[in-house]
Structures are given as C-alpha cells and as structure tokens.
C-alpha cells in the first residue's frame, strides 16, 4: 500500500508543479508579475484541494509524529478533503471540460489534477483512512472550506475584475445567477459528503 500512496502523492505534486510552471512561464513571457501569477495559481479551488490531498498522502508516508501529521491524518479531515477533491473532478467534467481542449503539458497537468488525483485519493480514503467515526455534523464543518473559498473569489473578483471560474463570473452572469450556480455546486458537495459518510458506515470484511 505504501507504493500506491507514494505514487498518488507523486502524481499530485507533479500535477501541481507542472501547472505552476506553466502559469509562471506564461506570466514571464508576458512580462507580467510572477508574484501575481503565484497568487492567481493558489486562488483556484482545484489547486488548493489538490495541495491538501498531496499533503495528506505525503504525511501518510512518514511515521514521524508531528502536529501537521496528526491533524491531516484524522479521519474527519482526510474525509473532508476526499469530498472536496471528488467535487473538483465532478465539477470539471460537468461544467468546464467542454470549454477548452488543452494540449501537451497542459493536458497532462489537467488530467492529473482533475481526473487522476480524485480517483487516487478516493482509493486512498477507502483503503487507508480508518472508518466508523464520521457523523452527519462533519458535513457542516467540511462545507466551511468551499463557502470561505466562494467568499474569497467573489471579493477577489470584485477588486480585480477577474474570476477564477466562468460559472462564478459576476461581471458576465450577475450575482443572482452566480449564487444559483454556487448553490447548485454546494448541493453537489453535500450529496458527495453524504455518500462519503454513508460509505464510512459500511463494515469492512476481515479474514479470520
């Protein structure tokens, strides 16, 4: 199982590294601020969530106790990240994939962050995260993350006139439609969270 976790962690960090390089390289070629590119990079829900997933997988590989390891490997925390990264994959496939056709290194980064990592992390969650401790109340805690992100991107977009995703572009869609879109995604998030809590209750079959 260590090899699987190591491969998953490597896939996550590789996808993030490739995407970050592409963003910074494009900013450099355009003679734009690299710091601004870095801030923009970490303003995507996909990047933030994949970073969290890669951190969990990396901590799962080491046995040295630390506050960070203790926090991220808690079943409730790892499960919340699993919900978020599944939503990343679903939202991309349903709402964004048809909008562009990436090629080359961009295609590789795109597949790693939106398709490969959600599947790998879900596999890690199913096989390695202790089960039986999740409760419905955890869904409320998990939802804080996307809600705070939504507030952040709205404020950032209002100040810079740049929104990270087309379905929350207030300048194009207006606030009513943006809130409807966000509400739909939140409902999807809750549905995935309910599925994770339900799967957590399934007893694992053990061999005598």
Q: What's the predicted TM-score (pTM) here?
A: 0.92
Question: What does the domain layout of the chain look like in residue ranges?
Answer: 2-200
| Nearest by Cα to 84 from 154, 188, 182 | 188
- Name 169's Cβ contacts closer than 8 Å, sequence gap at least 6: 157, 163, 178
How big is the chain, counted in residues?
208
pLDDT tens digits for the chain (208 residues)?
889 999 999 999 999 999 999 999 998 988 888 898 899 899 999 999 999 999 999 999 998 889 999 999 999 999 999 999 999 999 999 999 998 888 999 999 999 999 999 999 999 999 999 999 999 999 999 999 999 999 999 999 999 988 999 999 999 999 999 999 999 999 999 999 999 999 998 876 544 4
Give pLDDT, residue 204. 63
């Amino acid at each position: 199982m260590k090899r699987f976790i190591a491969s998953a962690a490597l896939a996550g960090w590789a996808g993030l590294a490739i995407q970050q390089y592409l963003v910074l390289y494009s900013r450099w070629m355009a003679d734009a601020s690299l710091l601004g590119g870095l801030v923009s990079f970490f303003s995507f829900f996909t990047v933030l969530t994949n970073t969290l997933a890669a951190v969990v997988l990396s901590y799962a590989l080491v046995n040295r106790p630390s506050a960070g390891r203790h926090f991220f490997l808690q079943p409730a925390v790892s499960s919340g990240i699993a919900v978020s990264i599944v939503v990343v994959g679903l939202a991309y496939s349903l709402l964004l994939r048809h909008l562009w056709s990436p090629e080359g290194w961009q295609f590789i980064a795109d597949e790693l962050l939106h398709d490969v990592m959600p599947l790998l992390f879900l596999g890690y969650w199913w096989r390695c995260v202790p089960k039986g401790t999740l409760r419905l109340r955890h869904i409320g805690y998990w939802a804080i993350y996307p809600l705070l992100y939504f507030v952040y991107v709205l404020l950032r977009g209002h100040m810079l006139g740049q929104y990270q995703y087309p379905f929350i572009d207030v300048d194009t869609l207006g606030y009513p439609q943006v809130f409807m879109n966000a509400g739909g995604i939140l409902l999807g998030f809750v549905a995935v969270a309910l599925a994770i809590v339900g799967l957590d209750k399934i007893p694992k079959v053990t061999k005598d």
